[in-house]
Amino acid sequence: MTISETGLSGWAPAKVNLYLHVGPPKSNGRHDLDSLVVFADGRAADHLQAEPADTISLEVSGPRAAEAGTLEDNLVLKAARALQAASGTRQGARLTLQKWLPVAAGIGGGSSDAATALRLLTKLWDIDPAHAAAIAPRLGGDVPVALSGQPALMRGEGERVTPVPSLPPLDALLVNPGVPCPTGPVFRAHDEAGGGAGFAEIHPLPEFQDAKAVAAWLHEQRNDLEAPAIAMVPEIAEALTFLRAQPGVLLARMSGSGATCLALFEAIAFAERAMVVLRNDAARKHWWTAACRLGRAP
């Protein structure tokens, strides 16, 4: 978080699911989850600024602004209005979102934007952070873990967040093949295939000495939504094939409900090399790529 004379600003980083186990659908139509979540640094993030104002307003700019939908549907605006109502404050805010992350991409961009809005406005309005914590689950399953901003286990419907402070930082490349992969249809395909049988939370989580140990353990885990997402968006398989063939790669899998894929590397130089290869590939230069370090939110 940055403080200036005109207000506050902060990064809203990509959320990455290192593994994602999904239970069967419940009576409310939602699912129990078990996932280890980390966040990108500023190289894979949106940016939000909050300035004092009489009313709440939002302006969206940046290369992905057109994909962000209407303002009334934007989670930043919904988070600000919900926090204002819950806290009883009459203060407003002029919010400016620079949208860099792809939308419907399995990296929780909208949820991260909303969580950053909650953090900034809690500080700007000088209100109890408990209001933000209470609102977060109602805004979406990824918002509570994004509000924590640290490596964590995300469980239940996303509302149970357990920090994992000892997780070592991870050098990574995030790749999205430029094809939307909406969450709802992916979950429905998972359910129709009978997914979720034998679901159980991992306990205890092992201690990891370094990134190689993390990657070795993750090979024993999975993303339960990867197969149904690939069936809907075959480009995900193409991205994974590319990533798994790169020098220095430790692990490659899909994040969240897709279509963004992640690859963990032995060092950031390997991730940057793979990013350059993609950006110089005429057939794939439209893919979104970001070499970054995964861990705490910036």
211 carries a ligand binding annotation: no
For 74-105, what is each residue's pLDDT tens digit? 999 999 999 999 999 999 999 999 999 999 89
Catalytic residue, from 15, 32, 41, 99: name it: 15
What would the CATH number be for the domain defined by 170-295? Answer: 3.30.70.890
Q: Write down the mean pLDDT value for the chain.
A: 96
Which two structure tokens, joined as six digits, stand for 13?
A: 């980083």
Q: What ranges do the domains of the chain cover?
A: 2-163, 170-295
For 120-173, what is each residue's pLDDT tens digit? 999 999 999 999 999 999 999 999 999 999 999 999 999 999 999 999 999 999
50 carries a ligand binding annotation: no
Which two structure tokens, joined as six digits, stand for 132?
A: 């933000």
Question: Is there a catalytic annotation at residue 142?
Answer: yes
62 carries a ligand binding annotation: no
Question: Is there a catalytic annotation at residue 78?
Answer: no
CB count, 10 Å around CB of 197? 7
Burial class (CB within 10 angstroms; exposed 0-12, middle 13-18, buried 19+) of 178: middle
Which two structure tokens, joined as six digits, stand for 63?
A: 């290369």
Are β-strands 170-176 and 249-254 bridged in parallel, bridged antiparallel, or unpaired? unpaired
103 carries a ligand binding annotation: yes
Catalytic residue, from 32, 34, 46, 142: name it: 142
pLDDT band at 293 (very low <50, low <70, confident <90, very high): very high
How far apart are the C-alpha atoms of 128 and 258, rounded to whole Å? Answer: 35
| pTM recorded for the entire structure | 0.95
Q: Which CATH class name applies to 2-163?
A: alpha beta
